[in-house]
Amino acid sequence: DQQVKQNSPSLSVQEGRISILNCDYTNSMFDYFLWYKKYPAEGPTFLISISSIKDKNEDGRFTVFLNKSAKHLSLHIVPSQPGDSAVYFCAASANNQGGKLIFGQGTELSVKP
Amino acid sequence: DAGVIQSPRHEVTEMGQEVTLRCKPISGHNSLFWYRQTMMRGLELLIYFNNNVPIDDSGMPEDRFSAKMPNASFSTLKIQPSEPRDSAVYFCASETGPGNTIYFGEGSWLTVV
């Protein structure tokens, strides 16, 4: 039972354009959402997060949007750069579950020069 | 400042053999997680500890898998006997406490032949 889903296994974008990565969740108790980035042969690293009391959080080129009614979040990268090419994991946690992070399957982003 | 340290980085073993993966969390972190990365399910949470105590092991696939955390600076994930379907990347991660950023190690790449 996949509580966090990333339905697009891959995404290809031209350098300078916007990258939009999507994530859906099923557990309405989730109240904290994160995006992690993973390069080959490395562990995932934290990128950006959002609490359920917000609907947007921005950090430089990265913006995360949360739509609680649709149980959907997205990561926007503008402008996309070749160095952004990596696997992006969406993750969610519920405060009443002791900080356990549930991850999606990941989306591999390729930014072409 | 050392991050999460995992060993071995790579292991190739024969079916039926015992495999032990090791993890040293970041000093001062109270929670430790074991994840497994597969193509189909992304990052699956296997088990997590809080203050050395296993809190949730519902993700452990079957009795062949066991994890221990004898002290705050060391944890092991053991597979006995190993099977080819256990081949995956196993990540250890730690955080200072629930709701904080989780930091991952570089992973242990396991191949069971």
Q: Which of B49, B34, B48, B46 is nearest to B4 (CA)?
A: B34
pLDDT tier, A39 (very low <50, low <70, confident <90, very high otherwise): very high
Handedness of CA A33, B104, B74, B33 (dihedral sign): positive
3-state secondary structure of B91: strand
The shortest C-alpha distance from B37 to chain A (Å) reads 9
pLDDT digits (tens, 9 = 90+) for B10-61: 999 999 999 999 999 999 999 999 999 987 778 999 999 999 999 989 899 8
Q: Is beta strand A19-25 parallel, antiparallel or unpaired with respect to A4-5?
A: antiparallel
In the 8-state DSSP scheme, what is residue B27?
A: T
- A-B CB pairs within 8 A amount to 65
Residue B42, amino acid: G
Q: B107 pLDDT exceeds 90? A: yes
Nearest CA in chain A to B101: A46
pLDDT digits (tens, 9 = 90+) for A65-113: 999 999 999 999 999 999 999 999 999 988 766 668 899 999 999 999 9
End-to-end CA separation in angstroms for chain B: 36
A24 and A33 Cβ atoms separated by less than 8 Å: no
B42 and chain A in contact, CB less than 8 A? yes
The shortest C-alpha distance from A12 to chain B (Å) reads 18
Nearest CA in chain A to B58: A100
pLDDT digits (tens, 9 = 90+) for B70-79: 999 999 999 9
Q: B99 pLDDT exceeds 80? A: no
A62 and chain B in contact, CB less than 8 A? no
B65 and B78 Cβ atoms separated by less than 8 Å: yes
Token readout for B99 is 């709701």
The shortest C-alpha distance from B81 to chain A (Å) reads 26
pLDDT tier, B97 (very low <50, low <70, confident <90, very high otherwise): confident
B34 and B90 Cβ atoms separated by less than 8 Å: yes
Q: Is beta strand B10-13 parallel, antiparallel or unpaired with respect to B108-112?
A: parallel
B43/A2 Cβ within 8 A: no
Q: Which of B83, B59, B70, B58 is nearest to B23 (CA)?
A: B70
- Residue with the two structure tokens 């959080």: A57
A21 and chain B in contact, CB less than 8 A? no
